[in-house]
Amino acid sequence: MKDRNKMEKHYSLSSAAELLGVTNQTLRNWDNAGKINMIRTPGNQRRVPESEILRLCSSTSVNAREIWRKPKRSTDERDHISDEINNISDTDVKNPEFYEKTNDTAPPVIIKNEDHYILMCKDDAVYDIEKNLILNEKTIPGCLLKKTMSFDQWMVTRYSKETNFSSQRLMQRAFGSYDHNRAAYITGAFSLSDCYWIKRKDDEVSFFDITPYANREWDGAENDGIRNDYIWGSLSNLFVNGKTDKYWQDAETLLKINSFREHEAFLLCGALGLDNTAEVFVAERGLFLNNFTSPNLFFESIEQYGFNQNEEDPREIITERYKEHAAALFTIDYLTENTDRHSDDFGFLRCSSTGEYLLPAPFFNFDWIWTGDVITLPDIIRNEYFGYVQDLCKKAISVADDFEHGIIIDNRANELLRL
């Protein structure tokens, strides 16, 4: 059985759920009840063997047989791709000559001037890029509706920054150059954080045909040009915003490379009873973060939501909507000396069908803690939620001895109590 598991394809929970036409929770319930045989990764993630999916297809959704024909990538294949990415060194990535000498391996340019592109949210057309025209106000990015950003500015908020060397390796391997704009139109600009993508107006391809939530990702070029049978395909690791080096191992797991120090902030959240935090675990290469989005629920940062940078404090906007939740986030930042809480790493979870803002996004980013400095709490928190902040500080003092940086936590908590 052990040898069979090593050779057999295994699928993430979300991919298996899509194949079977059920929800992730249904699969968890089946696993707990012994109705399906799953395996666990070293990080305790559920994986579903291909044989189990085939066995269950006949007893679940009829559509599962049709979905089954779509190309999928197994866990072993993803590991192989990760090895290829890592074989390109950081020195190479930082060297401009690295890109120049391999440009002849890039796939043919497929963008044509007469092409008409549409921004989609799943299978709803939301914005005509050529005409600069809003097509669906309900599911369009908030900043485009409020006109606080142009389409190009919004796209930049989704790009991996130049310091994300893993994304640079992927782009280099796929295109032979580092060009976000070109990659966006070739791959559809898919992300595993939201449900937006770009397609030609007359293309018949649908979201579930090629989204990385349910399908294999686009691998780049082979000797004969485009690898996939269709031109469209996702390369979602190019659209992981932020500065840190990170990439999606699969649709459920993001690896933040060498990001060890922020783990203590997540542990503090747990010790204070704050349950709206992303699920994380430490591995040899860095911090694994479980994806909290899905094809039904996507993340929109406060930056993408849209605000007037000259007149509005984004921390106050989210506090007005989510009260103690937001107060807790900025209090944790104070206690851990996180001075890098930008408007791209907190925000909302939206319904991909209605566009409704349903929930605050889980706390997911504490990259820059223990800096020796703090950011003052917004006035709205000091004025309206300071009793709640004081309760958090008292709890923090009571558990500080359990933390490596407990002296800092204790000192910062006492500072807030003295305000």
Q: Are strands 133-134 and 10-12 parallel, antiparallel or unpaired?
A: unpaired
pLDDT reported for residue 326 = 95
Do 233 and 88 lie in one domain? The reply is yes
Do 35 and 121 lie in one domain? The reply is no
pLDDT reported for residue 114 = 55
Which stretches in the chain have pLDDT values below 50? Answer: 1-6, 58-86, 88-113, 223-230
Do 98 and 169 lie in one domain? The reply is yes
pLDDT reported for residue 55 = 72
Do 178 and 272 lie in one domain? The reply is no
Half-sphere exposure of 100 (CA within 13 A, CB side): 4
pLDDT reported for residue 1 = 37
Do 322 and 369 lie in one domain? The reply is yes
pLDDT reported for residue 10 = 79
pLDDT reported for residue 23 = 75
- Number of domains present in the structure of the chain: 3
Q: Is residue 294 part of a domain?
A: yes
Q: Is residue 85 part of a domain?
A: yes
Q: Is residue 329 part of a domain?
A: yes
Do 41 and 158 lie in one domain? The reply is no
Spatial distance between the Cα atoms of 355 and 135, rounded to a whole number of angstroms: 13
pLDDT tens per residue, range 352-361: 999 999 999 9
Handedness of CA 415, 416, 418, 419 (dihedral sign): positive
Do 91 and 186 lie in one domain? The reply is yes
Spatial distance between the Cα atoms of 205 and 101, rounded to a whole number of angstroms: 35
Q: What pTM was computed for the model?
A: 0.73
Q: Is residue 136 part of a domain?
A: yes
Do 256 and 381 lie in one domain? The reply is yes
Last residue of a domain, one of 69, 93, 118: 69
Q: Output the 3-class SS for the chain.
A: CHHHHHHCCEEEHHHHHHHHCCCHHHHHHHHHHCCCCCEECCCCCEEEEHHHHHHHHCCCCCHHHHHHCCCCCCHHHHHHHHHHHHCCCHHHHHCHHHHHCCHHHCCCCCCCCCCCEEEEECCEEEEECCCCEECCCCCCCHHHHHCCCCHHHHHHHHCECCCCHHHHHHHHHHHCCCCHHHHHHHHCCCCCCCCEEEEECCCCCCHHHHCCCCCCCCCCEECCEECCCCCCCCCHHHCCCECCCEEEEECCEEEEECCCCCHHHHHHHHHCCCCCECCEEECCCEEEEECCCCCCEEEEEHHHHCCCCCCCCHHHHHHHHHCHHHHHHHHHHHHCCCCCCCCCCCEEEEECCCCCEEEECCECCCCCCCCCCCCCCCHHHHHHCHHHHHHHHHHHHHHHHHCCCHHHHHHHHHHHHCC
Q: Is residue 127 part of a domain?
A: yes
Q: Which domain holds residue 13?
A: 2-69
Spatial distance between the Cα atoms of 48 and 18, rounded to a whole number of angstroms: 12
